[in-house]
Structure 1
């Protein structure tokens, strides 16, 4: 998976070497966790469908749930990042007619690959679950050691926490299986992002190297300059590209906020300790120490936290105004998706999409 930007094979090997195995468990305990997570994922499907009123589209592939360890998550995401970034690089090189020599490609890719591996290692110790949209696509990943570590640190009921996490991830699974056009839409946004770019591939490579290097330094505990690049968004300067990112931010805020709304909306009949989980998990998302908070800022995770908040505000607001059935109009087409400014003003979306003119 080598590209002119990142040697993803090397990134994966580096991340697997650096990532710890997670909390100590016996073989029997680990096997029991895997079984329960699979069961919770299966159980969550009916709850999510009942609350949202959504079902998979006709002909949608059967859901696949993979309970993985940290290296398994690394492998999946290295492949996913390659699937996103490599076409971007190739398209830019084709448009500009510029490409690095073989030696420059190899050296640059390896250097950034090592740094990207350090970043992947950090994230692999934090993420609980993920629905793969790109890369292999269509799989729900549950990172067992991180879920066990989180429930122990939070001091919460393990079964409730595992089901609660599954409710969130299964919601993502349902979003993309009920509305396959969502993936196509996101892929089209990536293509439009490329078309809007006149960035020289060498400049892009250098900007990416700077961002990844700053993240790698933070992972290793080195002081981070206050003017350090602010995550991957620092790569974007073109107004047309920013417009694409605004659309992507809006749709990702929607899918994240929808999942947040669902995982809390099932109520204590399904997850008895849901209120305790929300309170303690909210504290976890703020980061547990200075290094953790710096990394979240540099990785753009702070923006993701805002996506959770804005998206949940939008979903809760629209459902409160018009009910779940009318809210589901949001999934009809790209034109019914919320605009960025509507996330914090649900009435504007209702007026634009649902109110007849």
Structure 2
């Protein structure tokens, strides 16, 4: 699917090997402690289902029979890398096919493919090695089954909990380990509930992403240059600068007005999903996580500060600063709507793609309430 003459545009195996080799080692734990952490995270993932569903009023259609369609996997950093490379490979297929056709018509395209695929694989691996030590958990909306990572039989999602990262952060913040692990599970379980309780949501997002990729007009050399810029920053070089001094994000592949519109819709949806998860984890927290206030305060400071100049540059380059804004703006939207119309009124957001908030409505929740509920501010 992504090769010309047997040469892949991205050497995915090399990306996995590079990321696995470069990723930072996790915290030191004994075998016994590691087993206890894994077992506790699995217990918390199961118990979080009931907490989240009770608080939100959301439940998958198959709730009575259990939620076997979305497996929960407790993984190490290498496992997270493998899962995400598989996801990228599946999701980026349409874009790579388009670039493949363009490359086949280029002078020296075969040579470019041999060299470019390996270069891109190495550089993608470098980026993943950076991210792999920072992600606590992830609901994989698009989770292809691999030999060592089972997926949903009906093509649904997969929930990953990255055990070494959770242990690292709880130690760094000096918070109660049991409370922090449950708190993280509440956030990730909310994402799983969003997609299992709203069957159309996955197809809607996938459709938007595929439409976005189909509109992409980027030649292979340009894409390689974007990834190379990120890799140079990772190695300590100077990040590329936009006019005005801000770093340029890899997601700045947008070339057309149509793509900007799609990206605005996707940004609004992701803000909703992330903000809703933050709202739920803090809403459930006081009932089941005694130290939730302390955890939230310390975690917010950590989330906002990063780990220094290089970390800040990479977060900007990879678009992670935008993700931080999604947490903040989305949580503010959910809180304002629930305060105005209650949880049942907020849940009308899941009715159809037409009831999802726009990017403008995320910033002005009253506008969403007015459009969906017919209410206006007094």
Candidates 90, 97, 104, aligned match of 1:83: 90
* Number of the residue aligned with 2:292: 274
| Superposed displacement of residue 134, structure 1 | 1.3
Contact 2:49 2:189 in 1 (8 A): yes
| Superposed displacement of residue 124, structure 1 | 0.2
Change (3 A) 1:135 1:102: farther
Candidates 109, 118, 121, aligned match of 1:113: 121
* Number of the residue aligned with 2:56: 52
Write the distance in 2 (CA, Å) between the matches of 1:310 and 1:207: 32
Contact 1:12 1:74 in 2 (8 A): yes
Write the distance in 2 (CA, Å) between the matches of 1:216 and 1:196: 26
Write the distance in 2 (CA, Å) between the matches of 1:209 and 1:95: 14
Change (3 A) 1:186 1:96: farther
Counterparts of 1:230-249 in structure 2, within 5 Å, are 230-249=248-267
Contact 2:247 2:317 in 1 (8 A): yes
Candidates 109, 112, 127, aligned match of 1:101: 109
Which stretch of structure 1 is more off in the superposition, 80-89 or 39-48?
80-89
Write the distance in 1 (CA, Å) between the matches of 2:355 and 2:368: 8
Write the distance in 1 (CA, Å) between the matches of 2:104 and 2:120: 23
Contact 2:22 2:126 in 1 (8 A): yes
* Number of the residue aligned with 1:25: 29
Write the distance in 2 (CA, Å) between the matches of 1:5 and 1:348: 45
Candidates 297, 304, 321, aligned match of 2:316: 297
Candidates 208, 214, 226, aligned match of 2:223: 208
Change (3 A) 1:102 1:225: closer
Q: Secondary structure at the match of 1:140?
A: strand
TM-score, normalising length: structure 2: 0.88
2:48 pairs with 1:41: no
Write the distance in 2 (CA, Å) between the matches of 1:268 and 1:308: 20
* Structure 1: unaligned runs, 5 residues or longer: none
Contact 1:231 1:298 in 2 (8 A): yes
Write the distance in 1 (CA, Å) between the matches of 2:296 and 2:164: 20
* Number of the residue aligned with 2:177: 158
Figure out how many residues of one structure are paired with residues of the other and give that number: 353
Contact 1:2 1:9 in 2 (8 A): no
**Deviation per residue, 1:177-214 (Å, 9 max, x gap):** 111211100111122213434x2xxx432232222112
2:13 pairs with 1:9: yes
* Number of the residue aligned with 2:356: 337
* Structure 2: unaligned runs, 5 residues or longer: 145-155
Contact 1:91 1:194 in 2 (8 A): no
Candidates 193, 204, 208, aligned match of 1:185: 204
Candidates 70, 79, 82, aligned match of 1:72: 79
* Number of the residue aligned with 2:331: 312
* Number of the residue aligned with 2:279: 261
| Superposed displacement of residue 101, structure 1 | 3.0
Which stretch of structure 1 is more off in the superposition, 57-66 or 12-21?
57-66
Write the distance in 1 (CA, Å) between the matches of 2:332 and 2:105: 45
Contact 1:64 1:139 in 2 (8 A): yes
Write the distance in 2 (CA, Å) between the matches of 1:234 and 1:68: 31
Q: Secondary structure at the match of 1:267?
A: helix
* Number of the residue aligned with 2:131: 123
TM-score, normalising length: structure 1: 0.93
Contact 1:257 1:315 in 2 (8 A): yes
Write the distance in 1 (CA, Å) between the matches of 2:278 and 2:58: 16
